[in-house]
């Protein structure tokens, strides 16, 4: 712990990561770090670099699978008061990396601001949502983002904004390790109308996704011109199980972790699904899920 002298209150060694993921799977992190502010983050990153520690950044863990063996190096989670802030000014809001998407959506509804209601029912943090351009049938976050504040692996902070900032399907052209915050440009609208959209989106997800299970959302990206879930369904894989991991009967692009499931079970099932879809449709499924090994 001497390499992090002075940060004892914010750093834990051999910290279990499973409770920090929606799958509730995976082993420990060598170092688990929760910086209090940007200044602390910069200093922690500097010390990690000096000690040649690999750095992983953890959001809400809703799209993450951690190896059963855990993660070597440092896992940094941006949470707490500073990193959970949301600042509203007119039609704009600056949301920090640790802000919860669900709270952001409801706060915008309350203020009569439209533009992020399509994120209803998507679990996660603002930073993770920007990183993967989270969204679905009702829209994605990239359409509302104007500017992001970033920090690279050396602690240098800079901004990136549109049109330099380019969002695509489940991706954005950000290479910096840390997303500190994002400025969203929203539009004024009737709160009741926004809430109707929120409810419609929630009902759609409730009816089509296995929400009350241990899962990580969609496992695979949709290939061009197709839906990953439909391909997996057509391959006859709904309900297919490896160990404690099973392809959801409700939505085939979800893999559910049942009692006794391990990360290894999920990975074996992922490879089986990929192989079957490749054999039947000559389509290579790409992971939307992030895997730490």
Q: Which domains, ranges and CATH numbers included, belong to the chain? A: 2-77 (3.30.43.10), 84-208 (3.30.465.10), 228-292 (3.90.78.10)
Neighbours of 34 (CB within 10 A): 22
Q: Tell me: pLDDT of 32 over 60.
A: yes
| Distance from C-alpha of 185 to C-alpha of 167, rounded to nearest angstrom | 15
* Residue 216, SS3 per DSSP: coil
Pairing mode, if any, of strands 113-114 and 71-77? unpaired
Asked if 256 and 188 count as a contact pair (C-beta separation under 8 A), the reply is: no
For the chain, list the strands marked E by DSSP.
11-16, 28-33, 55-58, 64-66, 71-77, 86-89, 92-96, 113-114, 135-136, 139-140, 145-151, 157-161, 167-168, 171-172, 178-185, 187-188, 241-242, 245-247, 255-257, 290-292
Cα-based distances in Å from 228 to 20, 163, 235 = 27, 30, 11
Q: Using pLDDT thresholds of 50, 70 and 90, give the confidence band for residue 9.
A: very high
pTM: 0.94
pLDDT attached to residue 55: 97
**What's the mean pLDDT in 228-237?**
98
CB neighbour class for 29 (10 Å; exposed up to 12, middle 13-18, buried from 19) = buried
Q: Tell me: pLDDT of 137 over 90.
A: no
Q: What is the pLDDT of residues 169-227, one digit of tens each?
A: 999 999 999 999 999 999 999 999 999 999 999 999 999 999 899 999 999 999 999 99
């Amino acid at each position: 712990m001497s390499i992090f002298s002075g940060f004892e209150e914010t750093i834990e060694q051999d910290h279990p990561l499973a409770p920090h993921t929606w799958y509730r799977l995976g082993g420990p992190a060598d170092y688990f770090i929760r910086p209090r502010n940007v200044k602390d983050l910069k200093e922690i990153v500097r010390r990690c670099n000096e000690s040649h520690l690999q750095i992983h950044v953890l959001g809400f863990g809703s799209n993450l699978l951690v190896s059963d063996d855990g993660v070597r190096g440092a896992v940094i989670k941006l949470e707490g008061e500073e990193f959970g802030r949301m600042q509203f000014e007119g039609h704009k809001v600056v949301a920090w990396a640790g802000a919860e998407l669900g709270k952001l959506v409801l706060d915008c509804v309350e203020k009569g601001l439209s533009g992020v209601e399509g994120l209803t029912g998507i679990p996660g943090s603002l930073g993770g949502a920007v990183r993967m351009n989270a969204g679905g049938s009702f829209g994605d976050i990239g359409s509302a983002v104007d500017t992001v504040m970033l920090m690279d692996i050396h602690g240098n902070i800079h901004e990136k904004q549109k049109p330099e900032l380019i969002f695509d399907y489940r991706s954005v052209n950000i290479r910096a390790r840390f997303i500190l915050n994002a400025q969203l440009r929203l539009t004024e609208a009737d709160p009741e109308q926004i809430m109707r959209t929120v409810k419609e989106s929630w009902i759609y997800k409730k009816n089509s996704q296995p929400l009350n299970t241990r899962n990580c959302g969609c496992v695979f990206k949709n290939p061009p011109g197709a839906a990953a879930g439909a391909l997996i369904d057509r391959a006859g894989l709904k309900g297919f199980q490896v160990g404690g991991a099973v392809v959801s009967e409700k939505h085939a692009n979800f893999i559910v972790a049942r009692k006794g499931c391990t990360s290894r079970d999920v990975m074996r099932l992922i490879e089986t699904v990929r192989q079957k879809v490749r054999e039947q449709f000559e389509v290579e499924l790409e992971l939307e899920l992030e895997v730490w090994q």
